[in-house]
Structure 1
């Protein structure tokens, strides 16, 4: 973690504004942004925003006028297209040939069954290329391959996810210099057929919490089975920042979705607007030398969706359980603890009734 001397060095560091020709000291940069760029404009689509952070988020995730490389660039698909044209690009012959090769490489590490699925798709592509219904066939192939790829990417499908954040120091500096103001967790799921979601962390804070707290948010994503799921999403979300010492003084906070907010309606785009806890954890504590939450330049955050209305008083106990235990074992232990805590109350009620 940066010490006081390092932070002082940062304040005296020369910096060039990414929005104009201004250059000066890092400590004066925020004031420059407020006075000279209170409503920055996207140079690609000319949309106006209320902050540079929001502009950066727009440019990285939303702007339809920005060209983006294909996700399989390193596997040979070298096309760059507008974001709005990605779906069309995914159905092109060059992309489908690349994705077959990509899945073959993934399957080489998987099971024979998975490999057979990929090989079958390869055959379908060959047939589709010579068919009079190429477009329909290609769409089906693309859908099947996306499902295979999604299946292999499932990191969790029980409504809980432990997010390991490595290179913490580097990511914090990126946030402070506004090179990358937030980071996203990998997607995870409430069940194998359930809601798709992720967490978003602003290491240097967002909005009113900027420069004072880490901001931690929940993002509902568009999933394959949304058409049969119930919306708005109305389940309590709990975040836990792990204390990596035997003291286990974890930082735990929860919020319940506002069902009137668009953040928790059925997603119509890739992701809904993030919502959560802006002042999750003070930066003054995470920047202390030897703090228990960052060890070996790594931080762990658990995201847990509460489908069973777990009592708030039980959360510290539930989150202190060994994460290596299977979910069903953890649930059984929690159930036993609930019953144990209920026994004194039951006995007291029994004694009161008999008096």
Structure 2
């Protein structure tokens, strides 16, 4: 009979404290139960296999030897002797005891302290005696207990704020930064006594505050070349007040002349240099009345040139007439003014001149009827000779050449010669192309 079946029958027979016969399952009378030594010997002598044979145990023997075998069977499940609550087969016990048991005894290889397995896991990675590399990757290796001090005070790769500008830098670069740090304190190079000036404030100090800085005299643009420490400048100004005033007077004279020259240049640039002038006389009615009141009143146009580097000309108009046209005509004249290039030109002035009063009628409604007069200068007329420097556009004693009866006031009113209270006079000079070239 298989020993497992025997044990199962015995267990079932004794359930709830009542023994039953394994054959017919009837209760047994305790008084009739007695040990049978011969049967016991016979049963214990039965040949059986290990209860872990299916797990791989190859043991065979008598039933009475089973417990002895189980005490050493590699496949028998036993509790951990360290009382860690783990149960495992005997053959896995050494591995468990050495590596897995939380109650095992472990000695740290670095500090030599003994720990349970569970405590050792917490100790690993924090042992002060363990050799580790610097976290800043500077390449240094040391025991963990000195790592903090190294990181704070010794590591060349530690970050540290600049004591002047408070920006963070790697320690081995902070010295080179201080050669450029805008807040690094320096002493005034002029030895004025000021120390601890931030580098970025030095220029402002030298310019505005340094009493030893060399400065130029405020009248330098007038010609004074004096240079001295700022603290001494007030004395220089007091001692040289008269000479400075003289310098300023000379400067004003030079600037006045420069302004006049610039005005002249601007005037030259702004005038026409194509031999054509279109002169708009605005506020016409008021100017006619003014001419009537003032009598023989002459208006002058902007100057213009016959061509680049050519003759300088100007048109004048008597809105209430002049000479034979006074009182009822518009009189128009042209004069030659002193120009920059007169010494390069041929004299007398001899080119055809045309005056035109422009009709402002809408060309889509009627064909404009401009009033036009043309003349060739008389070489004997004094106005067409080379002008002297004393003659200018305001010299009313020298009348230009033109037409005292250019157009009557009555004819002016017949067409749109006056529009928006303005008239347009056009003067043109015919210059041969070879002269312009």
- What TM-score, normalized by structure 2, do the two folds share? 0.38
More helix by share: 1
Higher RCO, 1 or 2 (CA under 8 Å, sep at least 6)? 1
